[in-house]
Structure formats: structure tokens, C-alpha cells
Amino acid sequence: MESNRQWVLASYPNGMPERTNWRLEEGVCPSPLEGEVLARSIYLSVDPYMRGRISPAKNYAAGVAIGECMHGGAVAEVVESKHPGFQPGDIVETINFGWQDFACLKGDGLHKVDPTLGPIHSALGYLGLPGLTAYLALETIGEPKQGETVLISAASGAVGQIAGQIATIRGARAVAVASSQEKLDYCRDLGFADGINYREETDLAAAVRRACPDGVDVFFDNTAGPIHDAVMQNLAPFARIIICGTVSLAGKFDEPDTGLRFMRNILVARARMEGFLFFDHLDKVSAARKQVSDWEKQGLIRHREDVIDGIEHMPEAFLRLLNSENFGKQLVRVRDDPFL
């Protein structure tokens, strides 16, 4: 049997993670127990939530222990099955794969990827955690209405690009915030009505005001930090603020975040701010996937991936994401995609 390469956590980062916080080890390929399948990764996912898993701070899920394989999702191919629902060659997707070649996965509840819905990596993108986060957070918290303004930070990212297109489908005016003109051009091409390059603006609150003259009705916040601050000064009455990610805090994760506070703005606007976590909505995932897939087939949703080849690049891929250097859903391709 082949060996199993895996990235284990070597140390907790002190501020912004560094490549040396992980160590690539080579181990023995595991064997599936009754009810499990052995799967081999094709695509490994890289997502901002992983920053929270390598911090000793309290989080919604247990963190990665030092010496443990780094947590993460994958699209993988079943190579051996001890579960009646799966056979070798099946493509599966799970959040609980880890940064490694092989994993044994419980068959019950395991998501079998339908390759006719789109590229199989889309199960990690617009048909997976980020895309369905965009859909479900807008459906359950944002509720964008015809003519409203929906501002989305990290707008060209895996969540943001889908959120903007869904807002547009709902008849709202999507406004992108991103880190480069190239990314904003892409957002425009997807149908965003306007965009703000936060790296070029000296007065971000004024830039939001210009782009959102009637205020922000829905704020899809993927970053926290200065973009959050600028938007909170431009809330429309009864604004909804989705706290979906805090990637701008990646470099100071274990220290208190201090800065401007917006209690008066929340009160004056009667705004609602709510934390969104995909895992609270697993009962709605199938219907959400069906809807997003339908829109994609109708040409209403497009998507962009940023694929790096080679499991040896996992830490770099993750750091690219934390530094806004990725462009679209960040993936690492571990081996050839059998459907390409």
C-alpha cells in the first residue's frame, strides 16, 4: 500500500501563521473499519475557518492538537469500501478529511459527489461549504430584497463571489470590496454593480458612502477589521450584518481586537448582526445545493477557482488565502482529477 503524506500541526502560530507551523510527515495508509471507506484525496480545500482551528482560543469546534493532522475538507476517491453504499471509484466530499493523501471515513452520512452537477471540485466551492454558506447566510440572515444594497467583503473569494451573484439574482445591488482592481473587474463581470478596492482607499467609510449612497442593507462580512468599521458607519435602517468570517484578524488571532465600536450605529439603524456557521444548517444543505446548481446550469452563477498542484504546497496555499493573494476558491490538487 502507498504511504500517506500528511501535514501535522507543529506549533500554534504566534500571530500570522507561517509555513513552519506545520510539518509534512509520511505515515502508513490506514485501513477502513466495518462501515468505513478508505478514500484518496484529489482536491484538498483551503478555507479561512482553518485559522480558528490552530489557535488555543475558544472556538465553535475543537482545535487541532499539536502533532495532529491538520483539519480540512476534501474531494476524494473511494479506493476501498466497507460500507454498502460506496464502491471504489465513487467520489466523495467531506469536511473531515485532513491535509493528507488518505483517510478512513464513516460511510453513513458521507456525501457522494454527483459528477454531473459540475466539476468535482465544485463540491468544495460553489456547491460546497463556501458556496452554500453564501446561499444559506443570505437566506437565513441577510434576506436581500429587490432594490436593496448588499455589500460583500472578500467579494471575489469563494463565499463572496457566490454571495454577490445570489444577491443579484434576488434583485439587490451587490457592491464588492476586494484587494485589487483585477478582482473588482472580475466581480463586475459577475454582475456586481459597484466595487471598492480597500487597498487603494484612504477613507474607506467615505468610499462605502459613495458606492452605497442609500446605505448598506445587507453586509456580508467575511473579514472584520477596517472594512467592517467602514460599513458600520453606513448602515441603512434595519440593516442585516452577517458575521461570516474574520480573515483580517488572522494575524492577531489570540490577542484582543480593539478599535471602533458601533453600538450607537446598531441602535440608531435598528440593525441586526448575526454570526453564521455552515454546520448549524446541515439540514438545509441538500436543498441549497440543488438551488445553487440550478442557477449555475441557467448561467446565473459562475465561479472561479485558484488551484495549486501538490500536497506539499498546502501551507503556502493557506497563507495565500490569509493574505488575500488567492483569486477565487483556493484549492490544492493532490493528484489528477479523473474527470478532467
Q: Which residues bind its own copies (CB under 8 A)?
A: 52, 57-60, 221, 224, 228, 237, 243-246, 249, 253, 256-264, 266-277, 280
Of 19 and 252, which CB lies nearer to its own copies in the complex structure?
Answer: 252
The answer to whether residues 241 and 221 touch, using CB atoms and an 8 Å cutoff, is yes
Of 205 and 307, which CB lies nearer to its own copies in the complex structure?
Answer: 205
Contact residues for 103 (Cβ-Cβ < 8 A; gap 6+): 30, 38, 39, 41, 74, 76, 94, 96, 97
Residue type for 36, please? E
Min dist. Cβ of residue 314 to its own copies (A): 24
Residue 320: closest CA among 188, 172, 158: 158
Of 48 and 195, which CB lies nearer to its own copies in the complex structure?
Answer: 48
Min dist. Cβ of residue 249 to its own copies (A): 7
Residue 47: closest CA among 246, 254, 198: 246
Of 7 and 262, which CB lies nearer to its own copies in the complex structure?
Answer: 262
Contact residues for 189 (Cβ-Cβ < 8 A; gap 6+): none
Min dist. Cβ of residue 244 to its own copies (A): 8
The answer to whether residues 12 and 56 touch, using CB atoms and an 8 Å cutoff, is yes
Of 24 and 277, which CB lies nearer to its own copies in the complex structure?
Answer: 277
The answer to whether residues 40 and 335 touch, using CB atoms and an 8 Å cutoff, is yes
DSSP-based three-state secondary structure for 11: coil
Min dist. Cβ of residue 245 to its own copies (A): 8
Min dist. Cβ of residue 276 to its own copies (A): 7
